[in-house]
Amino acid sequence: MDKICTLIIKDECNIKFDGLDPVVRREMVNALKFEVPGARYMPSVRMGRWDGKQSFCSVGGSSFINALPVLLPIVQDAGYEIEMEDQRSPFDVNFSKANTTLFDGKVWPEGHELEGKPIVLRDYQVECINYYLKNHQCVQEISTGAGKTILTAALSYLVEEETGGRTIVIVPNKDLVRQTEVDYVNVGLDVGVYYGDRKDIGSQHTICTWQSLNKLDKMGDIDGLNVIEAFLDGVNCVICDECHLAKADVLKNLLTGSLACIPIRWGMTGTTPEHLFQEIALEVSIGETINRLTAKELQDLGHLAQCHVNIVQVQDNGGFKSYQEELKHLVTNLARMKFIAERITKISETGNTLVLVDRIKAGELLDDFLDDAIFLSGSDKVETRKEHYEEVAKTDNKIIVATSGIASTGINIPRIFNLIIIEPGKSYVKVIQSIGRGIRKAKDKDFVQIWDFTSSLKYSKRHLTKRKKFYRKVQYPFTVTKVNY
């Protein structure tokens, strides 16, 4: 007689196998166990207390729907007959195909590259939208500058039109909340935002940061009412912009926790994660990546600015025991930072310049050395940052120094003619997202110079080797110049 187990589908994300013996469950755990990026450097791993891996399946048999292609063969090969208990709420919709005139009668606002002209979706945008409409739980890698905010607005519009449901759009920072809101207003959608001191409740479409959503989730019950459940009432679609951040535990826990019952789950990003663990985390939270639209494709079509990466390798002396010690020296050494500031001043003579730094101290030093530069960090209010970003559309030779945390992802500043990254490290996502700030086109811009300031010291040199591989992968031409100071 065959052994019998039960597959319980709890919601749109979570599942549980009941009735499996421990040997099979351990095999499932091992099949979905992956090395956590950076774990090898953690004390717990170095001391042998942890193997540096995490599994997307628990020893109790709990896992995720999108892990079933891995788990089902293990259970079946063990001789089990599987009975299914589906606890999901019924939901079925067949979307009509989108077309380029979805927003017929609407025009682009002042300051936009196409201001005053009708809002007409581009062919590649329509193609991406239709991929989503055919796949209710999926991710697409869509290059920076492809118009992801208007694409998101189109998806929300179609969900409202064809299902009557509400949508939640999750973005990584306050600047992107405001930027996304503008496009929703432009196309006439009923939209509210939820972040910081702006908390609009009850709109058909809500744009929020995952940090604000997490705080809402932690409120629990107030006067017998579950706060997050009330907030999500009527929502049948969640759209996660820059969803490569879903690898972060907080966002993943939200998507597979309080938001797990939402049937339509769409993710978009300019860069899918480079590590397998992060890729699986994204897949179990939202869905598999079904389509890729690269920057090179959009550059070839003329929708993005061409670019060249100028690697400036500063010849430094000395040696440091750790990467952090070396980095601290490289971005705080006064003589070195003054030299870089002088180069920035010269570069800025050719047009508006955005400088991205990782550390506030580095930004403050550059602000001191640069005349007429503005330094922006997370401590500046959203409105202040917005004012300076908008000035770029009307001025020339402006220098903005900003921390990567607020400016490396998502923000729209097309009239940047020079993008400077200082010791940007070895993260593919971070480096390519940062360069994405520069390759948007403007009326008077179809080319951007990228400047990668790095060092000849040990760790910096290793990281540069990795970045060269990134540049080759995305087909950004580059040259290396070695300089002394």
413-443: pLDDT as tens digits: 889 999 999 999 998 888 988 998 899 988 8
**Domain extent listing, the chain:** 3-86, 123-293, 304-483
Please report the pLDDT score of residue 39 as a whole number: 87
Q: What does residue 356 show for φ and ψ, rounded to 5 degrees?
A: -105, 130
Distance CA 460, CA 330 (A): 9
Please report the pLDDT score of residue 248 as a whole number: 66
Distance CA 327, CA 336 (A): 12
**Residue % of the chain over a pLDDT of 90:** 71
Write the class of the CATH domain 123-293.
alpha beta
Six token digits for residue 186: 């432009």
The CA–CA distances, whole Å, from 435 to 249, 287, 357, 374, 416 equal 26, 26, 13, 20, 11
pLDDT at 460 over 90: yes
Q: Which of 44-53, 186-195, 271-280, 461-470 has the lowest mean pLDDT?
A: 271-280
Six token digits for residue 383: 């409105």
CA-only gyration radius of the chain, Å: 24
Closest C-alpha to 355, from 296, 319, 402: 402
Cβ proximity of 287 and 95 under 8 Å: no
Please report the pLDDT score of residue 423 as a whole number: 95
Q: How confident is the model at residue 113 (pLDDT cuts 50, 70, 90)?
A: low
Instruction: Name, of 224-228, 244-248, 418-422, 429-433, the range with top average pLDDT.
Output: 418-422
For the four alpha carbons of 223, 191, 163 and 286, in that order, the dihedral sign comes to: negative
Please report the pLDDT score of residue 314 as a whole number: 96
Please report the pLDDT score of residue 116 as a whole number: 87
H helix or E strand, kind and range, residue 166:
strand 166-171
Q: Determine the average pLDDT of the residues in 114-143.
A: 94
pLDDT at 111 over 70: no
Q: How confident is the model at residue 37 (pLDDT cuts 50, 70, 90)?
A: confident
Distance CA 118, CA 370 (A): 41
Distance CA 216, CA 218 (A): 5
* Domains 3-86 and 123-293 fall in the same CATH topology: no
Q: Which of 152-156, 283-287, 377-381, 462-466 has the lowest mean pLDDT?
A: 377-381
Between β-strands 53-55 and 33-35, what pairing exists: parallel, antiparallel or unpaired? Answer: antiparallel
Q: How confident is the model at residue 115 (pLDDT cuts 50, 70, 90)?
A: confident
pLDDT at 245 over 90: no
What is the average pLDDT score of the chain?
92
pLDDT at 247 over 80: no
Closest C-alpha to 392, from 417, 369, 370: 417
Q: How many Cα atoms occupy the beta-carbon half-sphere of 433 within 13 Å?
A: 28
pLDDT at 304 over 80: yes
Q: Determine the average pLDDT of the residues in 382-405.
A: 86
Please report the pLDDT score of residue 375 as a whole number: 92
Q: How confident is the model at residue 114 (pLDDT cuts 50, 70, 90)?
A: confident
Please report the pLDDT score of residue 409 as a whole number: 62
8-state DSSP, 14? E
Considering only residues 173 and 260, tell me which one the structure prediction assigns the higher pLDDT: 260
CATH no., domain 304-483: 3.40.50.300
427-466 CB burial, b ≥16 within 10 A, e <16: bbbbbbbbbbbbbbbbeebeebbbbbbbbebebbeebbee
Q: How confident is the model at residue 391 (pLDDT cuts 50, 70, 90)?
A: confident
Please report the pLDDT score of residue 283 as a whole number: 94
pLDDT at 246 over 70: no
Q: Determine the average pLDDT of the residues in 289-317.
A: 95
pLDDT at 274 over 90: no
Please report the pLDDT score of residue 412 as a whole number: 77
pLDDT at 1 over 70: no
- CATH fold for the domain made of 3-86: Translation Initiation Factor Eif1 (3.30.780)
Tokens 């009708």, located at residue:
118
pLDDT tens, position by position, 131-156: 999 999 999 999 988 989 999 999 99
pLDDT at 481 over 70: yes
